[in-house]
Amino acid sequence: MPRCCLVALVLEASLSAAADPIREGMQSYNRHHYEDASTTLLAHMRLAEPSQQGKLYLGLGMTFLACAQVYQELHRTALSVQVDYLSKLLASDKEDGSHYAKLYLGRSLLDTGKTAEAAVSLRTCIEDKKIEPRDRSLAKIALARAYYLQGKNKNADELWSSVDTTDPEVMSELAAAYSRLGLAERKPLAMGEQIRQVMKQIQQGLSIRLANNLITVYAREGQIDKGLRLIKSTDLSGFFHEETIGKNKIVRFYDPSLLDNLAVLYGRASLEYLEKATTDEKIKGVAQYYLAEAEARFGHIDQSIEILDDALASGLLPSPYREKAELLHGVARFWQSGGRQSQMHLEDSTGQQQEPHLLADTLLACNRLNLECSEIARKATTLVEVIDGKKLETLHYALGRYYLRTHEYEQAIACMETVRDKSNKNKIEYNDPLMLINLAEAYYRSKRFSEALEIYFGMRNQFPAVRQIQVSMQGVYAMEQKSAGDAKLF
């Protein structure tokens, strides 16, 4: 049984008739309608009896954790596809081409950790007089961030001090840069609040760039509620810039950092609510498991181990969660060691028990750790060959994710298509969104662009920011196939 349904049953089993909003919220969660789930649960928070608070906190924590995981995967894919698209765009438009492609390419390269390459692209933008002064300031701020990450703090400060912060978008970009680098002493939150006041005074709504930068600040400065409210009032499918090239070619640019910011905000919201859920003794064990999972996923390994130590010692974990907690504990210890232990430590954790869910969890952990884990993959392959696919849904997904990481795209597609609902193949109500995202990437890497785009088209209602990937992928499709492509975006 998928873990989402298992937890829903844990919650629903103890609900009274008066607690229907919790059941309704968890039903939305099980359909992967995370926005609907969080809206329902948050609305009920004000009216709930004290005895129901813990279950509400757990439901919200699970929902926000699921959102964070989806946006983490979307962000990873979006960065890769954006770099592909903008690189091809720059290569194809030799004369009278795009001036802004290098700006957005530089920003994307910076977010992939390629600071030197990003700096080259961003310096070109700063010197390009056909780029608007505001956008050259954005390039300066991004270049300064690249310098700071390279340890060139003086160069970074010189650039940051040279930009015109009377422009709200420039100021918001600067606040976001400070916040992303952890420079709390620069007061990014105060800068963000000042921007909100300015926009309110001039009675002007927030552009997608302003909203994105404020989400950056709110997510990293602990202003979770403000960030969640801003998300609800923002069109997350909006483009960041539009450029006309030549007589009739229009290019719209998007910024994958939006997906990262959503992942960070939802991730921190999940930690906040799961921490509150652990105060309810009736569900403490399950809440501790999810809190430990969230802490580990967001890099807080010591905290994850401490929570798991307490949960495993308490005896409060239901049996399925105890197995999962023991595995997560082993993975966290591995992370804590910095990979100095043998990878066989992970492989041995499933050596005596061929339980599909343990194999799946271990293989997914290997994917996160970027380990080869060939022995676990072999065991998983053997198991899926002899047992009906739908009974091993999570294992098929884990194996498909493994093949995607090892660039064996046809195998990845075959594994994930096995558990894809054939009658509702692009509907998230019937398919795990994480599986669909990875399946779309496998199709993209196999140059089966239409199949990939159809998946994102099916996800757009619940995750409108998927537009970030759609447009870039459509651009690659058009250039690779020398046509406009046949997958609808609108």
Question: What does the block give as tokens for 28?
Answer: 């939305």
Average pLDDT of the chain, as a whole number: 88
Please report whether residue 24 resides in a domain. Answer: yes
Is pLDDT at 267 greater than 50 in this prediction?
A: yes
Question: Lowest-confidence range among 114-118, 179-183, 311-315?
Answer: 311-315
Domain containing residue 18: 3-65
Measured CA to CA, the distance from residue 485 to residue 449 in angstroms comes to 8
Query: What pTM does this model have?
Result: 0.91
User: Could you report the per-residue pLDDT of 171-194, keeping only the tens digit for each?
Assistant: 999 999 999 999 999 999 999 999
Contact 124, 109 (CB under 8 A): no
Question: Lowest-confidence range among 250-259, 278-287, 312-321, 389-398?
Answer: 389-398
Percent of the chain with pLDDT over 90: 70
User: Could you report the per-residue pLDDT of 186-221, keeping only the tens digit for each?
Assistant: 999 999 999 999 998 888 889 999 999 999 999 999
Please report whether residue 465 resides in a domain. Answer: no
Is pLDDT at 101 greater than 80 in this prediction?
A: yes
Please report whether residue 452 resides in a domain. Answer: no
Please tell me the predicted confidence (pLDDT) of residue 175. 98
Contact 310, 288 (CB under 8 A): yes
Selected residue with higher pLDDT from 315 and 140: 140
Measured CA to CA, the distance from residue 30 to residue 432 in angstroms comes to 10
Split at pLDDT 50, 70, 90, the class of 414 is: very high
Measured CA to CA, the distance from residue 436 to residue 70 in angstroms comes to 10
Please tell me the predicted confidence (pLDDT) of residue 307. 96
Measured CA to CA, the distance from residue 220 to residue 184 in angstroms comes to 10
Q: What is the mean pLDDT of residues 102-116?
A: 97
Please tell me the predicted confidence (pLDDT) of residue 482. 67
Instruction: Count up the domains in the chain and report the number.
Output: 1
Split at pLDDT 50, 70, 90, the class of 226 is: very high
Please tell me the predicted confidence (pLDDT) of residue 93. 67
Is pLDDT at 95 greater than 90 in this prediction?
A: no
Selected residue with higher pLDDT from 274 and 382: 274
Please tell me the predicted confidence (pLDDT) of residue 14. 46
Selected residue with higher pLDDT from 407 and 388: 407
Please tell me the predicted confidence (pLDDT) of residue 61. 98
**What percentage of the chain's residues is helix, strand, coil (to nearest 5)?**
70, 0, 25
Question: Ranked by mean pLDDT, which of 84-93, 215-224, 244-253, 313-322 comes out on top?
Answer: 215-224
Please report whether residue 54 resides in a domain. Answer: yes
Please report whether residue 311 resides in a domain. Answer: no
Is pLDDT at 18 greater than 60 in this prediction?
A: no
Please report whether residue 31 resides in a domain. Answer: yes
Q: What is the mean pLDDT of residues 146-156?
A: 97
Among candidates 298, 275, 222, which has minimal Cα distance to 57?
275
Please report whether residue 401 resides in a domain. Answer: no
How, if at all, do strands 249-253 and 241-245 pair? antiparallel
Q: What is the mean pLDDT of residues 338-367?
A: 63
Is pLDDT at 471 greater than 70 in this prediction?
A: yes
Amino acid occupying residue 60? L
Burial of 30 (0-12, 13-18, 19+ CB in 10 A): middle
DSSP per residue over 23-53, as a string? HHHHHHHHTT-HHHHHHHHHHHHTT--HHHH
Is pLDDT at 490 greater than 50 in this prediction?
A: no
Split at pLDDT 50, 70, 90, the class of 483 is: low
Split at pLDDT 50, 70, 90, the class of 385 is: confident
Please report whether residue 16 resides in a domain. Answer: yes
Measured CA to CA, the distance from residue 161 to residue 37 in angstroms comes to 44
